[in-house]
Amino acid sequence: MKGVHDMGGMECFGELELSDTDVHFHHDWEKRVLALCLAMGASGPWNLDKSRSARESLPPSYYLSAGYFRIWFAALENLLLEFSLVSTDELATGTVIDESAKLSVLKASAVPAALLAGSPVERTMPDKPLYQVGERVKVSRTVSKLHTRCPDYVRGCVGVVHLVHGGHVYPDSHAQMQGENPQWLYNIQFNADELWGESRSQAGTVHVDLWQPYLENMEAQ
């Protein structure tokens, strides 16, 4: 889908705010939100793609005005509700009413190992990649109406395969809790003028990581 989170190429947001560039948190609660999301991300039944989808599914006006960590917090509340880990009454009262789900809780002692392990998404593929480095490809204009990582500004554009990253978990399936469905992932290079018409000062190329289902074979055109 094309949502307000898909901002590449918009020019309506003005200048950057660069007054305190080394500050990561402006309030202590923001730290707790970050940690809550990481901890529940480790123990909750959802995945990173589902989390991103939850943030993008917030109302556009809220997404644009609430601030980064409020978006994370609102999406976490929605995930907890969607997966029936808490009820609306529990959220409203802050007290336990219903029976808890069985989760594997992230313990403090397990945090360093969990962060070190991360969540690698590269998978062995049963087939060969359809496209090779140097090959021209066109980005499909037909993409998922739900969560996708194909940004709007490259759709319909022609680029060149720069890297074949390997088989990676496919976010369009993963975000819908339909399994990993790994697909070949490519780094595609686009000329700025292909994306934007007349390119701006010193703009050369833009590289975007795109999964094979987002791409069309130029031969088939």
Partner 1 sequence: MTQQNTPDNDATNLADPNTDQSRQGSASQQLPREHHQHHHEHHHDHSHLDDTALRVRSLETLLTQKGYIEPEALNVLIDTYENKVGPRNGAKVIAKAWTNDRYRQWLLSDATAAIASLDFSGRQGEHMVVVENTAQVHNMVVCTLCSCYPWPVLGLPPTWYKSAPYRSRVVIDPASVLAEFGVTLEPHKKITVWDSTAEVRYLVLPERPANSEHLTEEQLAALVTRDAMIGTGLPLDSSLVSL
Six token digits for residue 4: 């307000």
Q: State whether residue 154 is helix, strand or coil.
A: helix
198 part of the interface to partner 1, by CB under 8 A: no
Binding partner 1 by CB under 8 A: which of 137, 143, 164, 208? 208
> How many CB atoms are located within 10 Å of the residue 171 CB?
24
* Tokens of residue 167, six digits: 């088989």
Place of tokens 């392990």: 117
Selected range binding partner 1 among 124-132, 135-143, 194-202, rule: CB under 8 A? 194-202
Site for partner 1 in 7-46 (CB under 8 A): 7-36, 38-40, 43-44
CB of 66 to partner 1, least distance (A): 7
- Cβ(107)–Cβ(42) under 8 Å? no
What is the residue type of 110?
A: A
Phi, psi of 91 (to 5 degrees): -60, -40
Strand 183-191 with 158-168, pairing: antiparallel
What is the CA angle 68-73-78, rounded to 5? 125
Residues 77-106 within binding reach of partner 1 (CB under 8 A): 77-78, 80-81, 85-86, 88, 90-92, 94-96, 100-101, 103, 105-106
Would you tell me how many other CB atoms lie within 10 Å of the CB of residue 139?
Answer: 21
Binding mask 109-148 for partner 1 (x = CB under 8 A): -xxx-xxxxxxxxx--------------------------
Stretch that binds partner 1, among 108-116, 128-136, 138-146 (CB under 8 A): 108-116
Q: Which of 151, 159, 182, 213 binds partner 1 (CB under 8 A)?
A: 151
Question: What is the closest distance, in whole angstroms, from the C-beta atom of residue 118 to partner 1 in the complex?
Answer: 4
- Between 5 and 135, name the residue whose CB sits nearer to partner 1: 5
